Amino acid sequence: MTLQQLKYAVEIARSGSMNIAAKKLFISQPSLSKAIKELEIEVNISIFERTNRGIKVTVEGAEFLGYARQVIEQTELLEKRYLDAKPSAQHFSVSTQHYAFAVNAFVDLVKKYGSDEYELELRETKTHDIIENVKNLKSEIGILYINEFNSKVLTKLFKENNLEFTELFVAKPHVFVSVNNPLAKKKKVSLSDLEDYPYLSFEQGEFNSFHFSEEILSTLSRRKNLRVSDRATLFNLLIGLNGYTISTGIISADLNGRDIIAVPLDVDEEITIGWIAHKNITLSSLASIYINALNDIISKAI
């Protein structure tokens, strides 16, 4: 087993594709496949599962890659300390539901890390993709919510994929509306108050189950429904169409301006926001910095 093989394996997991990884590593795909096959034979496990939809990390492979990443990081620290070597670009990826505080924390990560060279990824994406990205180590951590309605389904998925959920905070539901929306003047809104306004939600693609919805109360029937795929579009429609969406109540004026506000929703519900990662795998230094930034931002907002 060589350090180069470990780097190859980590890059394949990060890229989610043997072909993409080969291009990033400046090696031919057959040579990369051969190196990984030799590594798997040596350690006597299958690190990757080859499917028609690409590369997936096995449960055993996820644990192995966690150790591999630690070895690579420690080797680079040794080289920097004793050989005066230039550190390689650090990598970190987070997949998240559409939360402004997750973006704020990412900004803080970049500022605190302060290196001249890095490769960081922030994926605001669908709930099922968040779980898949963390499962296959394309993202080191994922940010999503659970509540009484979806917890049984999501917790089962976490368990099946050897993932662990860590709570960040518990929120009461709020509606996000334009400051010009009549609902913005209310101290609290009821579900009946919302009946005449367009309801905006994030589409979940082929896994458009109620349990994967980013918004609570997803099973309620509404006369006016709009689905979008990104946060900027959703906020523009909140303003342009006097629509609403349901979220945590934490909103960033720095990122989203002051045209959107959060109003408490009068329902007996709670939202538990947290992050998922592989069990028994030590987080990278960048992941730890990011989680600390998340906690700092959240503690100031709630």
pLDDT of residue 87 exceeding 70: no
- Whether the full predicted model's pTM is greater than 0.85, yes or no, is no
Model pLDDT for residues 141-186, shown as the tens digit of each residue: 999 999 999 999 999 999 999 999 999 999 999 999 999 999 999 9
pLDDT of residue 302 exceeding 80: no
DSSP code of 283? P
Tokens encoding 52: 């028609």
φ, ψ of residue 229 to 5 degrees: the values are: -115, -10
Q: What is the CATH number of domain 170-272?
A: 3.40.190.10
Neighbours of 138 (CB within 10 A): 21
φ, ψ of residue 162 to 5 degrees: the values are: 60, 40
Model pLDDT for residues 220-257, shown as the tens digit of each residue: 999 999 999 998 899 999 999 999 999 998 887 776 66
The whole-number pLDDT of residue 214 equals 93
φ, ψ of residue 98 to 5 degrees: the values are: -85, 80
Cα(23)–Cα(8) distance, rounded to whole angstroms?
Answer: 11
> How much is the average pLDDT of 190-198?
95
Chain region(s) in the chain for CATH 1.10.10.10: 1-85
Strand pairing of 48-51 and 54-57?
A: antiparallel
The whole-number pLDDT of residue 255 equals 65
Residues 110 and 120 sit within 8 Å (Cβ to Cβ): yes
Chain region(s) in the chain for CATH 3.40.190.10: 170-272
φ, ψ of residue 296 to 5 degrees: the values are: -65, -45
Cα(258)–Cα(268) distance, rounded to whole angstroms?
Answer: 28
Residue 263 bridge partners (DSSP): 175
Write the Ramachandran bin of 193: left for phi over 0, alpha for psi from -120 to 50, otherwise beta: alpha
Of 3.30.70.2740, 1.10.540.10, 1.10.10.10, 2.30.30.90, the CATH number of 1-85 is 1.10.10.10
